[in-house]
Amino acid sequence: MYKWFDDLTRIPKPNREKEDYHHYGLYEVEILNSLFRNHNVQTVLSLGGMSNLDFFLAQYDNDVKSATNFDEADTWRGFNLEDKHQEYIQRFNYNGEYIFTKRSIDRYDVVDKKYDVVFCNIDTLKGQMKVMPEIFVKMWSRMGLVETTREKMTLEYEKFFSNVLVTTNMTVFSNKELEYENNLVDTSTKLEKKRTVVYQRMNLPV
């Protein structure tokens, strides 16, 4: 089911702005996708995310009923966001309700009802969610944050969630035991600061 993932362009180039791209490792996609399956995720909110590719990768071959996406942008890297979402709905066989709302977001209190999963692709949100989701996925900026800033943000989220799963490009928070699969790529797992850290072994394609 992951063949299409290898075809996505990893690093955007000036003459490829209309093409798909990703900055997740295959092991991260498998973790996300299996979390959705194992936790029977049905309702999702995405804060930012542009093409919302992380959601579409996670929901593929699962049974999400409703997805909402808040983003202030109309276009990104040469494509219209709503058109790209519709393309991904078809490409990744999404059969649930999909609501895109164009709006600027600066605070977490837009999360005002219960969701199974909330994705956050914005690093500058203030405050806290009014209602905590079952699973919160913080996708870190492609260019990366200063490690001390990422750690500070993680510590803030840990005030509300007891279980934490860390990968290179995302951190997953929950108050449930996180059930995921990780079989496609050779990885290592360690416990660090009470967090489960999964990282890819050296000299392997991501």
Segment among 8-12, 81-85, 111-115, 166-170 with least mean pLDDT: 8-12
Dump strand ranges (E) for 57-116.
66-71, 75-76, 79-80, 97-102
Question: Which residue type occupies 44?
Answer: V
Alpha-helical regions (H) of the chain: 3-7, 26-38, 53-59, 81-91, 147-157
Quote the pLDDT of residue 19.
Answer: 66
Quote the pLDDT of residue 18.
Answer: 59
Total residue count of the chain as it appears in this document:
206
- Per-residue pLDDT tens over the stretch 5-31: 777 766 666 555 556 777 788 999 999
Percent of the chain clearing pLDDT 90 (strictly above): 74
Quote the pLDDT of residue 7.
Answer: 74
Average per-residue pLDDT in the chain? 90
pLDDT at 107 over 70: yes
User: 3-200: which CATH number, 3.40.1350, 2.60.220, 2.60.40, 3.40.50?
Assistant: 3.40.50
Q: DSSP class of residue 152? A: H
Mean pLDDT, residues 33-62:
96
Domain definitions of the chain by residue range: 3-200
Q: DSSP class of residue 201? A: P
Mean pLDDT, residues 36-43:
98
pTM of the predicted structure, to 2 decimals: 0.92
Q: Which residue has the higher pLDDT, 23 or 144?
A: 23
Q: Which two tokens stand for residue 171?
A: 């951190």
Q: Which residue has the higher pLDDT, 75 or 67?
A: 67
Nearest residue to 1 (alpha-carbon basis) of 184, 189, 134, 197: 184
